[in-house]
């Protein structure tokens, strides 16, 4: 039995308000992205996981 999986790779987490302007890259690093607010990471996870285009891939997320 095969399972769908997605790995979300964040950079250093900030305890700050949401900015909403984060970037994502599938199977590649977000260029110049070194931080993200924890609330923006949560938003990214909720958007990325249901997307079948990200299943069996890694997704980097950062500002």
State pLDDT tens for residues 30-57: 999 999 999 999 999 999 999 999 999 9
Instruction: Give the residue extent of every domain in the chain.
Output: 6-62
Mean pLDDT of the chain: 96
Tell me the two tokens of residue 16: 């700050």
CA separation for the pair 34, 54 (Å, rounded): 22
pLDDT at 1 over 70: no
First to last CA, the chain: 36
Strand partners, 35: 12
**Closest by alpha carbon to 46, among 15, 24, 17?**
24
């Amino acid at each position: 039995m095969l399972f769908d999986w997605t790995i979300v790779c964040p950079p250093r987490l900030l305890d700050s308000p949401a900015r909403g302007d984060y970037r994502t890259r599938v199977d590649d690093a977000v260029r110049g992205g070194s931080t993200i607010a924890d609330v923006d990471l949560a938003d990214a996870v909720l958007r990325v996981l249901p997307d079948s285009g990200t299943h069996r891939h890694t997704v980097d997320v950062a500002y």
